Amino acid sequence: MNHDTLNVILSVLSFLVTCGLGVITYFLKRVMDELDRCRRDIDDMKSRYVLKDEFDKAKSDITEVKQNYLTKEDFYREQVKTEKKLDKIMDILMQMKGER
């Protein structure tokens, strides 16, 4: 082999190695970007979602609220009872005032 042929082979080999490194770098960069995106998504999920203990506590709080919950109908019914009692008191006071 002469000197010129060796230079051509080395140049071609150098070009191929450079292209190979470029391809590897491109795909490695894509993988790293995807990994970073996944990490950000996981961090976002961690910040928005509750732990199992917190969820269980919320469920028990909901159960407690349901047990102590007063429905709208119950409230209105009690209000009507209270109004009737007040009407009776007013009637008694009016009768007392009329008698004097």
pLDDT in tens, 35-82: 999 999 999 988 888 888 888 899 898 988 888 888 889 999 999 999
pLDDT in tens, 5-42: 999 999 999 999 999 999 999 999 999 999 999 999 99
Distance from C-alpha of 39 to C-alpha of 83, rounded to nearest angstrom: 62
Residue 100 clears pLDDT 60, i.e. is over it: no
Distance from C-alpha of 33 to C-alpha of 25, rounded to nearest angstrom: 12
Domain ranges of the chain: 1-49, 51-100
Whether the predicted model's global pTM rises above the 0.75 cut:
no
Give the count of beta carbons closer than 10 Å to the beta carbon of residue 12.
10
Residue 1 clears pLDDT 80, i.e. is over it: no
Distance from C-alpha of 53 to C-alpha of 59, rounded to nearest angstrom: 10
